Structure 1
Amino acid sequence: MPGLVNALLIVAVVVVVIVRQFRARPVDTGRRWWLLPVILAVVALREPGILDAHHRTGSAVLLATEILVGLVMGAAWAWTTRVWTEPDGVVWTKSTKASAFVWFAGIAVRIGLFALGAVLGIHQDSAALMLGLAVLLLVRSGILVWRAQTLSSAPSTGGPTRAYGDDMARATRKEGV
């Protein structure tokens, strides 16, 4: 039963995160952006089946690869996210089409890792996926908060601040949080 609960938790977190990130929203650098990833990591690390007892080395390599994929995917998602400052000084963020590509590529890599583990006979628990998701969210949020703080602390030049994606058309409608 814990595997099913973990799987449902992972799906719920992914859906909420993806839906929220593809809407324009202000970045709040003062909130606890690290809290959800830490909770996910603690829940994942408390699971006894995070490593296969019969294939410790193989499952540890797959787990390390999952964490590495989370690091790379989190950084790629953060750097493909559009960040800009409005004239009132509020920093906004919105994921781009490139961010969606990062998600699809990350899911494809994870499916490949799961398939590799299945071929090798390594039992893979949902806790490894949850830990990878926690790393992804922690890295992405950390980079976005850093980018937002950099933009908000930049001296005002009287015009809009340059940001990733400025050559793209700006969404004129801001969606509520």
Structure 2
Amino acid sequence: MNSAVTPLLIVLVLAYAIYRQFKTRPADRSAVLYISLALIVFGLVSGGVLDSDHLGPSVFMLAIEVVTAVGLGVLRAMTVRIWADAKGVAWSKGTGWTLLAWLASIAVRVAEQFAGSAMGLTVAAGGIMVFVGLTLATQSLVVSSRGRALFGSGTGSYTVER
């Protein structure tokens, strides 16, 4: 893919994902997992996740990025409002805290990019796609889990009537 198109694609996918979180939607967000998986796979295939010229620092930064992507996904998921309607359907909607958590997530990711660059690592879109995919998947899984927890032990499932 053209190197100028990739960042635009990342921004568009992220903007759409954030926009959708502020709409009332079923809490079971399995479609987001497919998009997240596609981002992760595409990021890994496009390369740049590790800098082969600086393998040690690159692996260190990747570990930090994975931990922060997961942690920030959990944080954002905890800011999403979850409720059940009279039919027993779990719903979710982002709050003002969700928006602040997204801004914090973006700021942390930018800081990680600057830190990696200061360490002499090459910044590549592949790493950004993996980060976005991981953080979206984590948030989706936690929101879905919170929705299921409304119906008892959290191990059962719930259905969304369409």
| Larger-Rg structure | 1
Partner in structure 2 of residue 91 of structure 1:
90
* Counterparts of 1:32 and 1:117, CA distance in 2: 32
TM-score w.r.t. the length of structure 2 is 0.85
Partner in structure 2 of residue 139 of structure 1:
138
Question: 1:83/1:43 Cα in 2 relative to 1: closer, same or farther (>3 Å)?
Answer: same
| Richer in helix (by share) | 2
Partner in structure 2 of residue 16 of structure 1:
16
Runs of at least 4 residues off by over 3 Å: none
Contact 1:33 1:142 in 2 (8 A): no
Contact 2:83 2:90 in 1 (8 A): yes
Partner in structure 1 of residue 158 of structure 2:
none
* Counterparts of 1:32 and 1:121, CA distance in 2: 37
Partner in structure 1 of residue 38 of structure 2:
39
* Counterparts of 1:50 and 1:27, CA distance in 2: 31
TM-score w.r.t. the length of structure 1 is 0.79
Q: CA deviation at 1:72?
A: 0.6
Q: What do the CA deviations read for 1:56-77 (whole angstroms, capped 9, x no partner)?
A: 1112222221111110111011
RMSD, matched Cα: 1.9
Q: What do the CA deviations read for 1:83-117 (whole angstroms, capped 9, x no partner)?
A: 00112322111111111111111111111111112
Q: CA deviation at 1:118?
A: 1.9
* Counterparts of 2:70 and 2:42, CA distance in 1: 19
> What is the aligned length?
153
Judge which range, 67-76 or 55-64, deviates more.
Answer: 55-64
5+ residue gaps, structure 1: 156-177
Q: CA deviation at 1:33?
A: 4.4
Identical positions, percent? 31
Query: What secondary structure sits across from 1:54 in the alignment?
Result: helix
Q: CA deviation at 1:6?
A: 2.4
Question: 1:116/1:86 Cα in 2 relative to 1: closer, same or farther (>3 Å)?
Answer: same
Partner in structure 2 of residue 128 of structure 1:
127
Contact 1:3 1:125 in 2 (8 A): no
Contact 1:25 1:92 in 2 (8 A): yes
* Counterparts of 2:3 and 2:49, CA distance in 1: 11
Q: CA deviation at 1:3?
A: 3.2
Partner in structure 2 of residue 166 of structure 1:
none
5+ residue gaps, structure 2: 154-162
Mapping of residues 1-177 of structure 1, within 5 Å = 2-28=2-28, 31-151=30-150, 153-154=151-152
* Counterparts of 2:60 and 2:4, CA distance in 1: 24
